[in-house]
Amino acid sequence: MIGHRFMGRAHSNAWRQVARFFETPFEPVLKVVCGRDPQEVERAANELGWEEASVSWRETVARPDIDVVDVCTPGDTHADIAVAAALSGKHVLCEKPLANTVAEAQRMLAAVTATGVTHMVCHNYRRVPAVALAKRLIEEGRLGRLYHFRGVYLQDWIVDPEFPRVWRLEKSKAGSGALGDIASHSIDLARYLVGEIEEVAGHLETFIKERPLPGSEEMAPVDVDDAVLSLLKFEGGAVGTIEATRFALGRKNYNSFEVNGSRGSLAFNLERMNELELYVEEGPESGFRTVQVTDASHPYMKAWWPPGHIIGYEHTFTHTVHDFLLAIDEGRIPSPSFEDGIRNQKVLDAVERAAQSRSWEKV
């Protein structure tokens, strides 16, 4: 695993838990965790359960005793690490967004395709049981013809102007701001639930234009978006909106969406992760109802607890690595793959172009 901060902790937990709760074809061995600072990565190895710590990801991905590389770094290093890993014949799981540009993402897909390794982007929210149930209901036709996707992903962690200019606020590291960091999740969910996106319009806004560097008084420019507003047209005729911001005070990780169809609607909010709001026409008693998605018959839930014993954010990473291991064993490409990663990247790119041109742009 390359990287050991927030995503590194979530992925390490998933690699440790997956074979304890799921039938898995392999028993993951947490071999080497890589980081930049020797002391920090040594501490991460001990805390997160890795056998070794290294400050050289290049040496690590080339090791013959490594089978899988898990990329948990900021977006500016995804391409170099994933390409090197693929060329060393390693299967690659990469955090979202796949890369910081379409060109980088295409380089990554070319490398994994050329070497035949299994590849996956960690859009963990597809593997929330309620979201997987939403997908099942849509596929069964329970919503009928789809008209709308409405994605609203709200956070509030940088409302304070004194919050430092961390890597997520630096274009050279993160590629973009709320757009690539959280709207990328909404874009992936829109494509997963409704279908491919043909055309977008968009607006990017940066409210606080400069911030203090971490641990310093020195100010530095913020060259990424604080908020993104976008309009979507889907290939199948549905239309949509995606709004993502880090300035919605009081919303902590409010990853929500609503889908409206000819026979029904469904709505989800990650802050109420075990619930799915469902509306299907049932005569005069029709109304939105709250489905608690914790039955054994619901996606992934039979691995955990009896109905009503809810699960959390970290379980979605365990579900993701489980499906990744199954794909490796069966020699097939899981979804979302790097192909999905590129399709998501092209939507991110189209929204940036639309914000520049102030007109609709084709994906």
For the bound state, the minimum distance from the C-beta of residue 125 to ligand SOE, rounded and expressed in Å, comes to 7
Compute the distance between CA of residue 100 and CA of residue 338 in angstroms, rounded to an integer. 13
Closer CB to ligand SOE, residue 170 or residue 181? 181
- Nearest approach, Cβ of 104 to ligand SOE (angstroms)? 18
Give the closest residue to 255 by CA, choosing from 181, 154, 168, 174.
154
CB of 181 to ligand SOE, least distance (A): 5
**215 Cβ partners below 8 Å, 6+ apart?**
164
CA 227, 231, 233, 238 torsion-angle sign: positive
Question: What's the closest the beta carbon of residue 331 comes to ligand SOE, in angstroms?
Answer: 29
Which of 166/220 has CB closer to ligand SOE? 166
Q: Is residue 73 classed as helix, strand or coil in its secondary structure?
A: coil
Which residue lies nearest ligand SOE, judged by its C-beta? 181
Shortest distance, CB of residue 227 to ligand SOE, whole angstroms? 13
Residue number, 10 or 86, with CB nearest to ligand SOE = 10
Tokens found for residue 154: 């709200």
**Coil, strand, or helix at residue 263?**
coil
Q: H-type helices in the chain, by residue range?
A: 6-21, 38-48, 57-62, 78-87, 102-115, 129-139, 171-174, 178, 184-193, 313-330, 338-357
Least Cβ distance, residue 217 to ligand SOE (angstroms): 25
Angstrom distance (rounded) from CA 290 to CA 266 = 10
φ/ψ of residue 275, rounded to 5: -120, 145
Binding site for ligand SOE (CB under 6 A): 6, 155, 181-182, 253
Distances (CA, A) of 255 to 55, 124, 246: 34, 12, 12
**What is the closest distance, in whole angstroms, from the C-beta atom of residue 139 to ligand SOE in the complex?**
25
Measured from the CB atom, the residue of 117 and 128 that comes closer to ligand SOE is 128
Q: What is d(CA 110, CA 347) in angstroms, rounded to the nearest whole number?
A: 19
- Smaller CB separation from ligand SOE, 17 or 155: 155
Residue number, 180 or 264, with CB nearest to ligand SOE? 180
Min. distance of Cβ 253 from ligand SOE in angstroms? 5
Nearest residue (CB) to ligand SOE, 35 versus 175: 175
| Pick 6 or 26: Cβ nearer ligand SOE | 6
- Other C-beta atoms lying within 10 Å of the C-beta of residue 136: 12
Contacts for 243 with CB less than 8 Å, ≥ 6 apart: 151, 152, 153, 154, 227, 228, 229, 230
Nearer to ligand SOE, 9 or 31 (CB): 9
Name the minimum Å distance from CB 155 to ligand SOE.
6
Distance in angstroms (rounded) separating the CA atoms of residues 5 and 155: 19
